[in-house]
Amino acid sequence: MNGKGYKILIGLLAVVIIALAAVVVVVLRRPAETQVVTQVVTESGGNNGMTIGYASDGVTVIDDADALQRAVDEAFAESRKPGIGIRYRNDAYSSNGRDFTCSIGNSATNAYDMFIAIYADDAFEDLLFLSQLIKPGQAFEHITLQRALAPGDYVVNCVYTQVEVVDGEQAIHAQTAVTLNFHVSAS
């Protein structure tokens, strides 16, 4: 192989490495709920009956090396943005179903204020608690729900929402949710 052939081979290898790096960054930053697997039943049972569909959201057609480099640069820039840190203890306790001892807060590692919403259902419609903004490093050790829960154990959804100011207006910067266990003792 002559010198020109090696340059082409090295160039192609560099493009492949950059593309792989971009794929790794995108896959690691993608939330789990956006990954879709389609189940296909086959008579032969090959491949355990599973196929993976084609991505349609968040993909780009790369026409040239410059476009590929721009896509990689954008992926790396996106990966350097700070994530959303959360602070919580998984269990909260109450003797009256309304006042809970807990630890739910904004991690000191965050750069943004946040508010917290707690829902009794998976559809995020039955709101139990909504806080005002709390600064990084602050947490609730006690909360009072909007309505009392009957004695028992509950799995609730706690949504953390970071807020930033954009053009003088508050806007959502990032959001994540976790489940918590609320325990109400029988009086």
More confident residue, 171 or 72: 171
Confidence of residue 34 (pLDDT cuts 50, 70, 90): very low
pTM: 0.58
**So what's the pLDDT on residue 27?**
58
**Positions of CATH 2.60.40 in the chain:** 86-184
More confident residue, 176 or 18: 176
Q: Could you give the C-alpha distances from 37 to 33, 46, 54, 57, 60, in angstroms and in order?
A: 11, 16, 10, 15, 20
At which residue do the structure tokens 């971009």 appear? 22
DSSP the chain: --HHHHHHHHHHHHHHHHHHHHHHHHHHHS-GGG---EE---SS-GGGGEE-PPP-SS-----SHHHHHHHHHHHHHHHHS----EEE-SEEEESSSSEEEEEEEE-TT-SSEEEEEEESSTTS-SEEEE---B-TT-EEEEEE-SSPPPSEEEEEEEEEEEEEEETTEEEEEEEEEEEEEEEE---
Give the residue among 155, 90, 92, 148 at the shortest CA–CA distance from 121: 155
Q: Over the stretch 114-130, which tens digit does the pLDDT of each residue have?
A: 999 999 999 999 999 99
Q: What topology does CATH give the domain 86-184?
A: Immunoglobulin-like (2.60.40)
Over 90: is that where the pLDDT of 3 sits? no
**So what's the pLDDT on residue 95?**
96
HSE-up (13 A, CA, CB side) for residue 116: 28
Over 80: is that where the pLDDT of 33 sits? no
Q: What is the mean pLDDT of the chain?
A: 79
Written as six digits, the tokens of 81 are 């943005």
Q: Over the stretch 37-92, which tens digit does the pLDDT of each residue have?
A: 333 444 444 555 556 777 777 666 666 767 767 777 776 666 566 677 777 899 99
Give the residue among 60, 84, 85 at the shortest CA–CA distance from 73: 60
Q: Residues 12-23: what's their mean pLDDT? A: 70
Q: Over the stretch 130-157, which tens digit does the pLDDT of each residue have?
A: 999 999 999 999 999 999 999 999 999 9
Over 90: is that where the pLDDT of 101 sits? yes
**So what's the pLDDT on residue 146?**
96
Written as six digits, the tokens of 171 are 């806007």
